[in-house]
Structure 1
């Protein structure tokens, strides 16, 4: 689940709102959490409100239904939404002005280090978390002043009608145009996911992908040269890949995992593979100096409870990191989500620290890689 051109999502080039809102609208799965039970009330009851940033549209509608309304019912604390494509510019403006109007926000991992170093976030009160949340959420996804909100993967999907006996299962297969013929698609706006896919196709082991040295970039672009003639369209918006698969304009394509899950659950004839998926995530944080910090701490604790995490996953298709939610998800959904340990063992996790690190020329590694990608696409 990160974000390059727009700075708004792990894979960049489109806003987080455009990535998620239509996916959330596709689902009609009942909530699994009963928010009035005692486990939600013991430490989290309160009064007043929380001002919470969100990406808007059907994404916010779904989160309100599956998380915020149950939270209010369980705790008595109201959640007030503020909506925008990007939170970080407004967080900086509030910090500069010395007036913090929000309590809770989503944050891009690419932007988090700068805001963290400036002291804009309050430490997370993990004493409010129940044992099921702490045990189910890996320690590296529970930072001092932020938590992983959701996980977003780019996976390989294929049209079952094109490959009724079984399609490509990894990126080496995607590059094998003889065994698996047909038109292909890749995300075109930013290059870093495709660069990783190319290295996997070239035989680089998962553990050796990062850091993306100049030598590895050279190798990736050589491999990308091989597949470029077979990419019939470079997709940009999150909804394009599933639609082009449905229309049979693609036989296979990279696709956001949440889009793929939504399509499969609607009966669309596609399958997708987790081997070599690229995983990023978004953070959630509590703004230091916000008007309702104590209430925001309770919301963070609530949304990471396993039952509520399962509700978030069913609402958005992009799960939070609490693996204990698997106990509360529908059986047919468990094999499809990234929080499933079997799927998680097959993915590549982006090295955000390397991406934001500066090169000798003052550019970040991410910017350098994107410049190379843009130049390669233009040729």
Structure 2
């Protein structure tokens, strides 16, 4: 991609969020000299990145790294108010695509990388204005005890409540996107023919399984709790959330068949006060040795292909984006979702109220 992205008008959803978030622009404390401020998801994620990325980066470069929490609305509000207080943005690929289309991001300086090699980054997640630092996926998880006689191994199986009975869950739009892809797979659409999504067909398929859906989850924590508490016996769930429960000896499992690969990516504000430091940190974060360490702890998949050999066989087997994952799963088309999110939100809201 060589052309600068065209400037699009932001959606009403983002404009409203930006207006609500605008007063929060004064929330960040004063910036230290030689500091890179990074938007992150927070929580345990910050602990992992501090250990494997931020502190080693500071030791090597002398540049301090300060992670902060910021919603998508706040990121947009910063840019619109010409008051950018962040340098590097670590967030979902769709949110970065929205900012890219508004002209808010600087190109990733691949030609200046000194720790990572651009050619080693998986092609599907390497773009001019954003680059993935890991991938995760949504899988079909289930309770092994409930399905001791045979578990669902596809979304068609999940939709077959007669053969595989029990309460279920799927994601709500509030989680980022509804599981329309899985509805279409259950309805016979091949995974390489999913996009553009046939929303009407997906919702007709949803009609068939809706009586068995206990709840449409809106957070990863809720999906994990429902499956752990046996409120549901099967459903869509992020692999990292489920793997934590499995590692704690919960009687849960999942199939890699027809999982959806999703992307967490890095972007750099074009008006950032420390663009050079942000570019350096992105480069440092994506080198194979570093990626292998934080991917291992987060239970997600590296995007540098040279990181996979640094993982154990067991770690590679459960990492999204690897060889098996690419054969049995599919990448979510974030461009389609960002192009159609407002429309799908309206349709989904009406469908839920029926």
TM over 0.5: yes
Q: Does 1:55 align with 2:41?
A: yes
Q: Is the 8 A contact 2:172 2:216 kept in 1?
A: yes
1:172 aligns to what?
156
SS at 2:180 equivalent: helix
Q: Take 1:313 and 1:5, find their aligned partners in 2: how far apart are those partners?
A: 35
Task: Give the equivalent residue in structure 2 for 1:199.
Answer: 184
Separation (CA, whole Å) in 2 of partners of 1:56 and 1:367: 27
Match of 2:69 in 1: 83
1:171 CA drift (Å): 0.2
For residues 273-284 of structure 1, the aligned pairs below 5 Å read 273-284=255-266
Counterpart-to-counterpart distance in 1, 2:118 and 2:111: 10
User: In structure 2, how many angstroms separate the alpha carbons of the residues matched to 1:296 and 1:289?
Assistant: 12
Q: CA separation in 2, counterparts of 1:189 and 1:123?
A: 30
Range that drifts further, 198-207 or 315-324: 315-324
Contact persistence 2:139–2:259 (CA under 8 A): yes
TM-score (norm 1): 0.77
Cα deviation digits, residues 230-272 of structure 1 (max 9, x gap)? 1123333212222222222222111111111222222222111
Helix, strand or coil at the partner of 1:275: strand
Counterparts in 2 of 1:308-327, with a 5 A limit?
Answer: 308-327=290-309
| 1:5–1:328 Cα change, 3 Å | farther
Q: Report the counterpart of residue 355 of structure 1 in structure 2.
A: 337
SS at match of 2:292: helix
TM-superposed CA distance for 1:355, in Å, is: 2.8
Residues 343, 117 of structure 1: alpha-carbon distance in 2 compared, 3 angstrom cutoff:
closer
- Given the two structures, how large is their TM-score scaled by the length of structure 2? 0.82
Structure 2: tracts of 5 or more residues without a match? 1-10, 15-32
| Residue aligned with 2:37, SS | strand
Structure 1 residues 66 and 249, CA gap change in structure 2 (3 angstroms): same
Shift of 1:70: 1.8
Relative to structure 1, the CA distance from residue 133 to residue 234 in structure 2 (aligned partners, 3 Å threshold; closer, same or farther) is: same
CA separation of 1:112 and 1:245: change in aligned 2, threshold 3 A: closer
Note the 1:327-366 alignment, pairs <5 A.
327-357=309-339, 365-366=340-341
Deviations for 1:32-67, whole angstroms, at most 9, x for unmatched residues? xxxxxxxxxxxxxxx932122222222222221221
Deviation at 1:178, TM superposition (A): 2.7
Contact 2:170-2:178 within 8 A present in 1 as well: no
Match of 1:120 among 98, 101, 104: 104
CA distance in 1: counterparts of 2:294 and 2:125, whole angstroms: 17
* Structure 1 residues 277 and 6: alpha-carbon distance in aligned structure 2, compared to 1, 3 A threshold: farther
Aligned-partner Cα distance in 2 for 1:253–1:6? 28
5+ long unaligned stretches in structure 1: 8-46, 358-364
RMSD, matched Cα: 2.6
> How far apart are the structure 2 equivalents of 1:318 and 1:165?
30
Q: Out of 41, 55, 68, which is 2:54 matched to?
A: 68
What SS is found at the alignment partner of 1:302? helix
Counterpart in the other structure of 2:140: 156
CA–CA separation in structure 1 for the residues paired with 2:212 and 2:75? 43
Aligned to 1:209: 194
Instruction: Report the count of equivalent residues.
Output: 325
| Residue 288 (structure 1) shift | 1.9
Contact in 1 for aligned 2:89/2:266 (Cα 8 Å): yes
